[in-house]
Amino acid sequence: MEYYKQKENYIIIGICMEVHRILGPGLLEIIYKDALEIEFKNNNIPYEREKEFSIEYKGQILPHKFYADFILYDEIILEVKSVKEINNEHIAQTLNYIRLADSKIGIITNFQNKSLMHKRLII
């Protein structure tokens, strides 16, 4: 499973690095998402932005939804952060998104620091 969607992972991280290289660190997450969307379009990467997911509980859809920053290649969750560091809360959030989206893989990227930080999660 370690190599699952490895080619796509490299492409996504490469695009994130390009955005980080051009925009630099420390901007709001929404700015990086806007730039990433341009790059995904320009590179013909299938994506959905702010993909809405409903949560079912005992046969009922709960009123609150969750929104993954991006779904790439129909299954890779991409969470965009601009924080001091990726922490356990970000990891737990992304793991929940992966499960609820019935996916197997997620990537957390952090644009806050001098170098792009990223973490790949596979369940």
CB atoms under 10 Å from CB of 64, counted, come to: 7
pLDDT surpasses 70 at 1 = no
| Predicted TM-score of the model (pTM) | 0.91
Largest Cα span, the chain: 47
Query: Cβ distance 66 to 100 under 8 Å?
Result: yes
pLDDT surpasses 80 at 70 = yes
CATH of 6-122, one of 2.130.10.10, 3.90.320.10, 3.30.43.10, 1.10.3720.10: 3.90.320.10
Please give the average per-residue pLDDT across 66-70, as a whole number.
Answer: 92
Domain boundaries, the chain: 6-122
Q: 4 is written with which tokens? A: 């699952």
Helix (H, G, I), strand (E, B) or coil at 24: coil
- Specify the DSSP class assigned to residue 15: H
Please give the average per-residue pLDDT across 62-76, as a whole number.
Answer: 93
